[in-house]
Structure 1
Amino acid sequence: MKSKLTLRLDDRLKERAKELAKERGTSVSKIVEDYFRLLLREPNGSNSETGSAPDKDSIPDDLPPRTRQMVNALGPATADLDLDEDTKAWVDAMHDKHK
Structure 2
Amino acid sequence: MNPLDLYEGKREFKEKFEKTKEQKIHEIKQTVKKYLPPPAKNMLDTPEGTYALIAIAIAIFIIFLRIIGMTLRLVSKIVLIGSILAAIYFSYLYFSHTG
The answer to whether the superposition gives a TM-score over 0.5 is no
Which of the pair has the greater relative contact order for Cα pairs under 8 Å at 6+ separation?
A: 2
TM-score of the superposition, structure 2-length normalised? 0.32
Which is helix-richer, 1 or 2? 2
